[in-house]
Structure 1
Amino acid sequence: MSFHFSKLSLVKRILVLSILSSGLSISATAQQQGVHHQSAQYEAPTDPLVQKKLEKWRDQKFGLIIHWGLYAVPGIIESWQLCSEDWIERDSTVAYEDYKKWYWGLSKEFNPVNFNPEQWAGVAKKAGMRYLVFTTKHHDGFNMFDTKETDFKITNGPFKSNPRADVAKHVFNAFRKEGFMIGAYFSKPDWHSEYFWWPKYATADRNVNYDIRKHAWRWNQYKQFTYNQIGELMHNYGSMDILWLDGGWVRPKETVNDEVRSWGAAIPEFSQEVDMPRIASMARSAQPGLLIVDRTVHGPYENYQTPEQRVPENKIDNPWESCLTLANNWGYVPNDKFKSATKVIHSLVEVVAKGGSLLLGVGPKPDGTLPTEAVDRLTKIGQWLEVNGEAIYNTRTTDRFKDGTTYFTQGKKGTRYAIACLAEDAAMPATIEWTGNAPKKGSKVKLLQNGKTIKWERQGEKTIIHLPALDKTKGAYPAMAFSYTAE
């Protein structure tokens, strides 16, 4: 049976309710099937300006990625329900073509009248975040910036008369004013473009739906379309630090390896390359030193690696970030389950001790406001970083990065930091112990929580820290950080 959405508004409401009810149930599957795994190979950049920018980025440690687009209106898992793959769940009574028409039609409903990027930036700064990645376009092809390449954009709907209709511009400006490094997320695949999903054919999966070898003209049009849009972002939206490219299945065929095949998505027999050398040359001409993150496409245009929804098991010397969601989904989903501030802090500590940065995902609501749960968690994370950030920012790894649940980092002048992660339901212990990374004999150990020197002793290979009288409330301290001079 095929529903026709133009006939009855009730039918649309029923469909939306069906989607909402299924959103959380499929989120775990989505996170598995839609994720980008970390590249197994890394090629360091040779451009001195890029190297300098990369070192600056490695000092920031904690960033915010914002997924916001049409998918926020019904509250579903980003663009993925547009994709016709067997892990995607939709209402079985709705024809796929009708579903797509309904989804594209959300552009006539998306009206974020309470959009306030200064509030977003203020919350992120108080959270201790230092860099931003904002979704200018996800796989659905809906543009959150005023592109001239298509009318499928936020500036061509009910929000177009708003003085802040060019959403990306105002987001970038607000975060720039707060001192953030600025990154533009951009999807290489565009499921709305007739040059990627040609209406002549069905859309079998996430890939281009025609044979590029037989229709070279059409694919060349798509490459130019992609080049032009990235050019707009690089030339018209102020100073950029990061071009963060998603959709790693759009890549040169010669870069497809067993790692890519393990994703479970179909791999075409032809190359889906968009001419990254040309794009990179143009982008860096406009933005010298620009970091380019062509996710999972190992080579000169993946300046740092991006394991998604996981923290690597071991320390990694290459530049990298773990991309984790604050809730279960990247975008806004009603009644989503948010991680605790303690859990995020523990992830941040682990990531940094292993040499990475944490990029935390938050999805604003369709009206343009941040979920109250997100603000609450971010505020608590910031309170911890305000007094313990010395052990996180501008640090690098130590040879032995952990002992049990205590992690170690090192400042650029040699100061060693021990960060003991405490269980959420545990009261403050009287002592904290670790093996290895011992303080130098006679050196002072400072508790970053209050800035005071505290008692410590050495028993064989074990360091024992005697904690002062602090709040014994369970969960009062997610982690305790100490600074000292190591042996």
Structure 2
Amino acid sequence: MYKKLSFLTLLLLLFSNILVKADTPEKDQYNQRMQWFKDAKLGIFIHWGLYSKGIDSESWCMYHKKRSWEEYMTQQAKDFTAANYQPEEWAKLFKEVGADYAVMTSKHHDGFALWDTKYSKINAKDFSAAKRDVYTPWVKAIRNAGLKVGVYYSLCDWSHPDYSPITFDRPEKKLRKLYPQQRAERYLTPWQRFTKFNFNEMHELFERYQPDLVWFDGDWEHKADEWPSRVVKDSLLSWNPKVIVNSRLNWYGDYNTPEQDPPVIAPDRPWELCLTMNESWGYRADDHDYKSAKYLIETFVRSVAKGGNLLLDIGPKSDGTIPKPQVELLKEIGQWYQTNGTAIRNTEAGIPYGHFDGETTLSKDHKTINLFLMGGLKNFTTLRGVKGEIESIKVLGSNSPVKYKVIDSAPWNDIPGIIQIFFDDVKEDPYVTVVSVTFKTPISLYRGIGHAVEMND
């Protein structure tokens, strides 16, 4: 394995003049790199490409031989116009929703690049009806809005003539012309040529955009030493020491990226849940099966309560417009977030289950516990096993008084009692009601199994 890595590294240095840094970052450097991500909470995921015509799935319809390469690539390229594309309006919407970062496909598995890469003619400028680079304006708009920039990049490229394995027929002679190569590259193996191409494109993305985050995909098609993942990661850090990388770089990622699968148990390192609004990542004209705003907000809450983020996906159309149902859902989420954001921003994962029958978050000073009530308000709820003197209890977004009392406490015997919070005069939030319980000093938790009270007051 080490001989293979050394050989590949040498090739990259000779042919691409790319600096590779071999040192692994120390733990404190890792924590510094990850801090903004752990604080971010909400990101917007954008799948935009040839598939945005809306007739079939992104890239996978070629893989499963539902459409030929020509049908998928060439014919759909005629409809990728970006005629109504307004990246500034996208960024404004994301900012209003409350997002802190956005990730957009620079290139999906099909090989179509949204920027005008010099390493492939299959890009928005040279291959599509848009006839221009559509990625650079997006990066600029996102940065101007104060959001972090995430670049999605597929490690596999199913149109590249040297990439394998491929499950469908391709016009091989045509592809050779669409991926220009230097004469000296004929002496390399096909996989060496592809690896060189991959590094060149990644380096080009970093030179142009200096992304805050790289969201890889497709790593399952090859082993770590084949990409080679370690060399990729070290190279990215040499190009931008502050960049963070998702988990789809074999085991060299910085954080976990579960997909459509909200964790029941919190992962043991930073993570985000990437989630679609309906059943599709890219725009599908026939997919009207949208999740409700309430469900999406609840999923957002469940993610943050376990210490994670939500990366919520949208799929713009080929002309650059975001489908109306997606805009409406984003705005509904944004309205709730604007009212209840203090229970999400600057918080940590909540207290352990058992203290409250639901999701919670904890302020960084450990003085406030935020309780999320998703199933509607009953007569009261309870908070159990929390040591500390209450300063205030309030329902976010409401001026209604909140009544409470502490029962069954015996602090002299290390029994903090049960806090009963009553909702007689409280207006319920239509999505998720948030109750913030603030204590005068940082809390501590009673984690005992229960015991007899040997002395009463």
Using structure 1 for the length normalisation, give the TM-score. Answer: 0.74
Alpha-carbon shift at residue 294 of structure 1 (Å): 4.2
- What aligned pairs does 1:81-100 form with structure 2 within 5 A after superposition? 81-84=61-64, 90=66, 99-100=68-69
Contact 2:400 2:426 in 1 (8 A): no
Classify the secondary structure of the residue corresponding to 1:443.
strand
- In structure 2, relative to structure 1, the CA distance for the partners of 1:452 and 1:282 (3 Å cut) is farther
Match of 1:276 among 229, 233, 237: 229
Contact 1:188 1:247 in 2 (8 A): yes
Classify the secondary structure of the residue corresponding to 2:221.
coil
- In structure 2, relative to structure 1, the CA distance for the partners of 1:415 and 1:326 (3 Å cut) is farther
Contact 2:47 2:282 in 1 (8 A): yes
**Residue matched to 2:283:** 332
The runs of 5 or more residues in structure 2 that have no matched partner are 1-23, 171-186, 409-416, 445-457
- In structure 2, relative to structure 1, the CA distance for the partners of 1:69 and 1:160 (3 Å cut) is closer
Match of 2:157 among 190, 198, 203: 190
**Residue matched to 1:245:** 216
- Do residues 395 (structure 1) and 366 (structure 2) align? no
Match of 2:125 among 155, 170, 173: 155
> For residue 147 of structure 2, what is the amino acid of its counterpart?
F
- In structure 2, relative to structure 1, the CA distance for the partners of 1:348 and 1:115 (3 Å cut) is same
- Do residues 108 (structure 1) and 108 (structure 2) align? no
Match of 1:309 among 229, 241, 260: 260
Alpha-carbon shift at residue 124 of structure 1 (Å): 1.1
**Residue matched to 2:43:** 63
Alpha-carbon shift at residue 51 of structure 1 (Å): 2.4
- In structure 2, relative to structure 1, the CA distance for the partners of 1:388 and 1:379 (3 Å cut) is same
Alpha-carbon shift at residue 319 of structure 1 (Å): 0.6
Distance 2:152 2:303 in 1: 22
- Do residues 383 (structure 1) and 324 (structure 2) align? no
- Do residues 120 (structure 1) and 90 (structure 2) align? yes
Distance 1:374 1:443 in 2: 40
Classify the secondary structure of the residue corresponding to 1:249.
helix
Moved more, 359-368 or 311-320: 311-320
Classify the secondary structure of the residue corresponding to 1:433.
strand
**Residue matched to 1:267:** none
**Residue matched to 1:229:** 201
Alpha-carbon shift at residue 187 of structure 1 (Å): 0.3
Distance 2:250 2:365 in 1: 35
Contact 1:141 1:191 in 2 (8 A): yes
Distance 1:198 1:408 in 2: 46
Distance 1:177 1:331 in 2: 25
> What's the CA shift string for 1:362-412, capped at 9, x where partnerless?
111111011111111111111111121111122112441576752111121
- What aligned pairs does 1:14-33 form with structure 2 within 5 A after superposition? none
> For residue 284 of structure 1, what is the amino acid of its counterpart?
L
> For residue 72 of structure 2, what is the amino acid of its counterpart?
Y
Match of 2:381 among 410, 419, 433: 433
Match of 2:311 among 359, 379, 383: 359
Moved more, 399-408 or 217-226: 399-408
Classify the secondary structure of the residue corresponding to 2:189.
helix
**Residue matched to 2:137:** 170
**Residue matched to 1:79:** 59
> For residue 275 of structure 2, what is the amino acid of its counterpart?
L
Structure whose CA Rg is larger = 2
Classify the secondary structure of the residue corresponding to 1:444.
strand
- In structure 2, relative to structure 1, the CA distance for the partners of 1:481 and 1:437 (3 Å cut) is farther
Alpha-carbon shift at residue 200 of structure 1 (Å): 12
> What's the CA shift string for 1:304-324, capped at 9, x where partnerless?
011110111112331111111
> For residue 280 of structure 1, what is the amino acid of its counterpart?
K
Distance 2:157 2:354 in 1: 42
Match of 2:420 among 464, 470, 474: 464
- In structure 2, relative to structure 1, the CA distance for the partners of 1:442 and 1:152 (3 Å cut) is closer
Contact 2:216 2:249 in 1 (8 A): no
> What's the CA shift string for 1:4-60, capped at 9, x where partnerless?
xxxxxxxxxxxxxxxxxxxxxxxxxxxxxxxxxxxxxxxx96264442120111001
Classify the secondary structure of the residue corresponding to 2:265.
coil
> What's the CA shift string for 1:264-292, capped at 9, x where partnerless?
xxxxxxx6x22233333332232221102
**Residue matched to 1:93:** none
Alpha-carbon shift at residue 196 of structure 1 (Å): 0.7
> For residue 464 of structure 1, what is the amino acid of its counterpart?
Q
Moved more, 178-187 or 280-289: 280-289
Using structure 2 for the length normalisation, give the TM-score. Answer: 0.79
- In structure 2, relative to structure 1, the CA distance for the partners of 1:202 and 1:112 (3 Å cut) is closer
- In structure 2, relative to structure 1, the CA distance for the partners of 1:434 and 1:167 (3 Å cut) is farther
**Residue matched to 2:6:** none
**Residue matched to 2:322:** 370
Contact 1:407 1:420 in 2 (8 A): yes
Aligned Cα RMSD in Å? 2.7
Distance 2:390 2:438 in 1: 10
Classify the secondary structure of the residue corresponding to 2:220.
coil
Distance 1:242 1:166 in 2: 20
- Do residues 445 (structure 1) and 415 (structure 2) align? no
- In structure 2, relative to structure 1, the CA distance for the partners of 1:432 and 1:114 (3 Å cut) is farther
- In structure 2, relative to structure 1, the CA distance for the partners of 1:132 and 1:389 (3 Å cut) is same
**Residue matched to 1:133:** 103
> For residue 82 of structure 1, what is the amino acid of its counterpart?
M
- Do residues 342 (structure 1) and 309 (structure 2) align? no
Alpha-carbon shift at residue 470 of structure 1 (Å): 4.8
> For residue 390 of structure 1, what is the amino acid of its counterpart?
T
Contact 1:439 1:445 in 2 (8 A): no
Distance 2:41 2:200 in 1: 31
Contact 1:141 1:192 in 2 (8 A): yes
> For residue 171 of structure 1, what is the amino acid of its counterpart?
W
Alpha-carbon shift at residue 74 of structure 1 (Å): 3.5
